[in-house]
Amino acid sequence: MTNMIKSIHGATNYLSHDLFGGPRLLSFNWVINFQKGMTLFWVLGLMLYYDNYSTQAWVYLALHGSYGIIWILKDVIFPDSKWQTKITFGGAITAIVAVLGPYWVAPYLLISPVLVEAHTGANWIWTATAIFIYAIGLALMLTADAQKYFTLKHQKGLITTGMFRLIRHPNYLGEMLIYGSFALLVWHWIPWAILAWVWLGYFSINIIMKERSMSRYEEWSEYKKHSKYLFPYIF
């Protein structure tokens, strides 16, 4: 099992960093920031093209569009070193096609008439729920990433306090809540299938590899006993 996880991680790392070989000229965060920053214009463009100015469309624009801007601000103020690595043009294409690009399917399904004319997305109760989940997820992601950045800047080692006291990967949980809120707004199974692909094929592997890295610290065993992967006291 361990060898299989390492093989999958190695394969995904090659595809997203070194595909087709050649010089690593692009910083990974440039690719991510481009996709996330352009989301606002993508959603607005869909609304204009399909003449859809429904409440659900405006809410989606506000949530996913603001998230893209906030992500770029986060990258400027407290960047994650993981995304500062250089990648090839092939790696950038893989990242866009396999992971980042599919995130744009959700607003297309919501705003365009590709499903059925009567499909309008979530009702007002689930729309309010999505906004609530988005706010919680955004707070988790930003707070966890900020704590990790500023803590490691002054003190290296395992972080076991604050956002990391009860769960070991609060930033991943925040991301899952954020994108889950977008899928909830669309009210269709396709966005959830895309998220399952990303969460199981990418997030889960990264979490496992991160756990292996953290296990080198002597306080790891005790920390693991009193914390969970993603949900306090549950999982």
pLDDT (tens digit per residue) in 106-164: 999 999 998 876 567 889 999 999 999 999 999 999 999 999 999 999 988 899 999 99
- From residue 184, give the alpha-carbon distance in Å to each of 138, 193, 209, 211: 16, 12, 29, 30
Kindly list the averaged pLDDT for each block of 10 residues, start to end, along the chain of length 235: 61 71 86 96 97 94 98 95 89 89 95 78 93 98 96 91 94 97 96 95 87 90 91 87
**What is the C-alpha to C-alpha distance for residues 109 and 178, in angstroms, rounded to an integer?**
18
pTM: 0.91
φ and ψ at residue 127, rounded to 5 degrees? -65, -45
DSSP 19: T
Q: What beta strand segments (E) does 35-169 contain?
A: 86-87
**What is the C-alpha to C-alpha distance for residues 10 and 5, in angstroms, rounded to an integer?**
8
